Structure 1
Amino acid sequence: MSLQVDVARASALLNMGLLLALALVWGRNYLQIRSKQTLGTLVFSVVLFGENALALYYYVVTAAAVPAPAMQAMMILSLLETVALAFLVYVTYD
Structure 2
Amino acid sequence: MNANAISLQEVEELVASRRGAFAFPPGLEARYERETGPRRARFLVNTTLRTALIYNIFILCEYLLAPDTFLLATALHLFVVTPWMLLVAHLL
The alignment's TM-score, normalised by the length of structure 2, stands at 0.44
Higher relative CO (CA 8 A, sep ≥ 6), structure 1 or 2?
Answer: 1
The alignment's TM-score, normalised by the length of structure 1, stands at 0.43
Greater Rg over alpha carbons, structure? 2
